[in-house]
Structure 1
Amino acid sequence: MKGIFVTGTDTSVGKTVVSASLMCVWRKVEKVCYWKPIQTGIEADNDTLTVKNLANCSDAEIFDTGFRLEKPLSPHLSARLANIEITVKKVLQFIETDEKFWIVEGAGGVFVPLNKSELMIDLMKALDLPVVIAARSSLGTINHTLLTIEALRKNNLEIFGVIMNGEPNKENRQAIEHFGKVKVLAEMPKFEKLEYEILKSWTRKNLYAYFEKAAD
């Protein structure tokens, strides 16, 4: 399996928009597919549908299979309330063994529980994909992002880079790059109106160079 895993420093930090942006990048160079294996609060907030619309995905570019849970809670709790058990082994059984390039979006951050003994980072280790971190640009992001970086490195996961979301913050960006020894790939603004053409245009200007080089 080849691809990128999109994680976040927290919930609601822009993982889904980052995932849609990466879909716009990778479809230029190879067959690509988006997958969110664990989705909670599915009725109110369907990230798979959001990515499909924002990245103008065909049905073949969306892998809408996995754990789909009603309650907008941590995966372990939402699953417990639905009398379902999420395990890394069960998630891996959903995977298609083809030559697609996968954009896999996690739920929450790296230490979100899946069950009583497994965390999101255990799934990330099993998939063993390079990681893009979605982070806020605002106050508090330095600590959250550096902790995420430390956790990934302690678990021997490759970090491709960080994408910050919100108002540009030069000081926070520089601190994350300096102390985290990572590349902040871009600072994604809060778009007044977000749709495919707008996201594609922003992605072309800010991300194509990084990911097209990686694909060569």
Structure 2
Amino acid sequence: MHPAYPAFPKRYFVTGIGTDVGKTIAAAVLTEALQADYWKPVQAGNLEFTDTHTVQSLLSNSRSVFHPEAYRLQMPASPHTAAAAENRELRLEEIVLPETRNHLIVEGAGGVMVPLNNRELVLDLIQKLQLEVVLVSRNYLGSINHTLMTVEVLRSRNISIAGILFNGAPTPSSEKLILNYTQLSAFPRLLEEFNFDKAMVVRYAQTFQEYFKNHA
């Protein structure tokens, strides 16, 4: 029998400063740490092994529930392009937060300015769902600019940012500048690992559990 549901469940939208910065691994660690539910609203491409399947394969707890995507699109492309290839259009009103009393981790597609259709962006979805953002940042040439711009865009919509999750090899000077400029807190970092498996996710999840305990 599972323990009681959390009195104040955390609801995070995991987004990144761009594509391939590690959102899915970050989402898996957060989901394991909180034994949260997981939801990927829009999956574009890789339908045989989706991001939901990836997270599911990395978790060890038995509490997490995996909610079905609102949209499953064949083409590995921007959601508006993938939908158009199927003569479909994503409708924001059809992307409804799943009902759960548990913590919930929601994983976005790409960055906040990725178009869902010809009028609306991932940013609009975050605002509609009214979730707090975990921003995944990874160091590369231009990543400071991309991180600061993402923070500015989120703040322009009055979207709450829980903190920045740095993924990859540490770059202290860049990270210090980002944190000082934004005045955001940093989640525990994820390092460049040879292989992320269940054991690795559990190890990181323990660190995140300590973080949440100290930042309740």
By the TM > 0.5 criterion, same fold? yes
> Match for residue 16 of structure 2?
8
Q: Residue by residue, what CA displacement relative to the aligned partner does 1:148-190 show, whole Å, maximum 9, x if unpaired? A: 0001111111110111111111111101101111112232111
SS in 1 for 2:211: helix
Question: 186-195 vs 54-63, which deviates more?
Answer: 54-63
Structure 1 CA distance for aligned equivalents of residues 85 and 62 of structure 2? 33
Q: Residue by residue, what CA displacement relative to the aligned partner does 1:6-27 show, whole Å, maximum 9, x if unpaired? A: 0010011100000000011112
Please provide the CA RMSD for this pair.
1.8
Structure 1 CA distance for aligned equivalents of residues 19 and 32 of structure 2? 23
Count of aligned residue pairs for this structure pair: 208
Q: Residue by residue, what CA displacement relative to the aligned partner does 1:86-129 show, whole Å, maximum 9, x if unpaired? A: 1210112xx33331221000001001101111111111001111
Change (3 A) 1:178 1:59: closer
Structure 1 residue ranges without an equivalent (≥5) = none
2:151 counterpart of 1:149? yes
Measured after TM superposition, the shift of residue 45 of structure 1 is 5.4
SS in 2 for 1:157: coil
Question: Which amino acid is the alignment partner of residue 47 of structure 2?
Answer: E
User: If the length of structure 1 is used for normalisation, what is the TM-score?
Assistant: 0.90
2:91 counterpart of 1:83? no
Q: How does 1:61-76 map to 2 (within 5 A)?
A: 61-76=65-80
Structure 1 CA distance for aligned equivalents of residues 13 and 98 of structure 2? 16
Q: Which runs of 4+ in 1 moved over 4 A?
A: 57-60
Question: 3-12 vs 133-142, which deviates more?
Answer: 133-142
> Match for residue 106 of structure 1?
108
SS in 2 for 1:132: strand
Which residue among 158, 162, 167 is the counterpart of 2:169? 167
Question: Which amino acid is the alignment partner of residue 3 of structure 1?
Answer: R
Which residue among 42, 45, 50 is the counterpart of 2:54? 50
Change (3 A) 1:208 1:137: farther
Whether contact under 8 Å (1:173, 1:184) holds in the other structure is no
Structure 2 CA distance for aligned equivalents of residues 185 and 140 of structure 1? 21
SS in 1 for 2:165: strand
Whether contact under 8 Å (2:60, 2:202) holds in the other structure is no
Structure 1 CA distance for aligned equivalents of residues 61 and 117 of structure 2? 32
The percentage of counterpart residues that share the same residue type is: 36
> Match for residue 124 of structure 1?
126
Structure 2 residue ranges without an equivalent (≥5) = 1-8
Structure 2 CA distance for aligned equivalents of residues 129 and 104 of structure 1? 9
Change (3 A) 1:53 1:178: same
Question: Which amino acid is the alignment partner of residue 40 of structure 1?
Answer: A
> Match for residue 186 of structure 2?
184
Structure 1 CA distance for aligned equivalents of residues 176 and 98 of structure 2? 39
Structure 1 CA distance for aligned equivalents of residues 203 and 196 of structure 2? 11
Question: Which amino acid is the alignment partner of residue 8 of structure 1?
Answer: G
> Match for residue 26 of structure 1?
34
